[in-house]
Chains A and B, each alone.
Chain A
Amino acid sequence: MKDGENDDAKRLVFVTVGTTSFDALVNAVVSDNVKEELHKRGYTHLLIQMGRGIYSPPKCDGVDGSLAVDYFTFSSSIADYIQSASLVISHAGSGSIFETLKLGKPLIVVVNEDLMDNHQCELAEELEERKHLYCARPHTLHQTLTKMGLESLVRYTPGDGTPVARIIDRFLGFPDD
């Protein structure tokens, strides 16, 4: 980024695969039609956290007006990246999903079809039914991007552990407050 560049004009798409290896998602996200769709929707930067993946996408500085592309493998915390993003595209790990939802960011969850036990998609599909996010597969990501209406997403309300504590306290014989 150049000095003096207007940060308000930057619209970042942050892609995260957590601690997994998810080359299919990284490939999908840097494919021409996906990048074109993101560019059309006004996104300027694409940052990919690629985890243990093998495929390294080509970087691009975006000076010619195209989507700027960058990547890294891991970070101790991705909260800052999520916070500065206008759109998050994530693997279906529950940690990444809820970290993004709690920060109130629009989210597309991409399910990894190569995983053997795919209970992950249960959570993504349930949250999609409740309109908290969009759910896709690597080969349907472009389609989801063309059809999505981010304004129709419902903000997620964080949960509360008090009911669990109350039931446990009651079981152990502590008086109710």
Chain B
Amino acid sequence: MMRRELPHDDGETTPLLHLLEDVTSVWTTIVAIVHALWLMIRIRPQVILCNGPGTCIPLCVIAFLFKVLGIRWSSIFYVESVARVKKLFLSGLLLYNLRMADQFFVQWPQLQKNYPRAHYVGCLM
């Protein structure tokens, strides 16, 4: 699925470049959401299995909105990356706090303590 590139901070950007980056970010986010919507309707996945990177967010948001509207096509399962020991990725935080994932998995016990609704499944690597 289309990936929205995050702008890099090289310390050299001007306010104009920042604005251009923000506009491009908004545009690519819209494109990603439209693409996710198209994928949902075309594939109608029964299971969405995802992990850390934010590329999964547009698809999970669309699937969740569908569920809210009564179209219960997809179950969402999120496995937090093994690289996250003490804190969740931003995408994990969103899916956990907004209760968008049906089941949420973490690979380190410290995370399970902080996020008790998550399943601790040990290191999967």
Contacts and interface: CB of A to CB of B under 8 A. Distances in A.
Interface of A: 94, 98, 101-102, 116, 119-120, 122-123, 126, 158-161, 163-164, 167-168, 171-172
A168 B85 contact: no
Contacts, number: 56
A119 B108 CA distance: 14
B103 A171 contact: yes
A126 B108 contact: yes
Contacts of B121: 163-164, 167
Contact of A164 (B81, B87, B105): B105
Contacts of B119: 163-164, 167
Nearest to B9: A116
B25 interface: no
B75 interface: yes
B83 A122 contact: yes
A161 B102 CA distance: 18
Per DSSP, chain B at the interface is: loop
A94 B102 CA distance: 26
A168 B77 contact: yes
Nearest to B79: A164
A126 B85 contact: yes
Contacts of B85: 122-123, 126
A159 B77 contact: no
Nearest to A172: B75
Per DSSP, chain A at the interface is: helix
A94 B77 contact: no
Interface string B86-107: 1100000000000000110101
Interface residues of B, number: 25
A169 to B, nearest CB: 11
A122 B84 contact: yes
Contacts of B49: 168
Contacts of B75: 171-172
Nearest to B125: A98
A16 B49 CA distance: 30
A84 to B, nearest CB: 22
B44 to A, nearest CB: 15
A69 to B, nearest CB: 30
B90 to A, nearest CB: 10
Given A159-B124, A163-B122, A172-B75, 8 more contacts: A98-B125, A116-B9, A119-B87, A122-B84, A159-B123, A161-B124, A171-B77, A171-B102
Given A94-B81, A172-B47, A172-B75, A122 B123 contact: no
A119 B125 contact: no
20 contacts: A119-B83, A119-B87, A120-B83, A122-B83, A122-B84, A122-B85, A123-B83, A123-B85, A126-B85, A159-B107, A159-B124, A159-B125, A160-B122, A161-B124, A163-B121, A164-B121, A168-B47, A168-B49, A168-B77, A171-B75
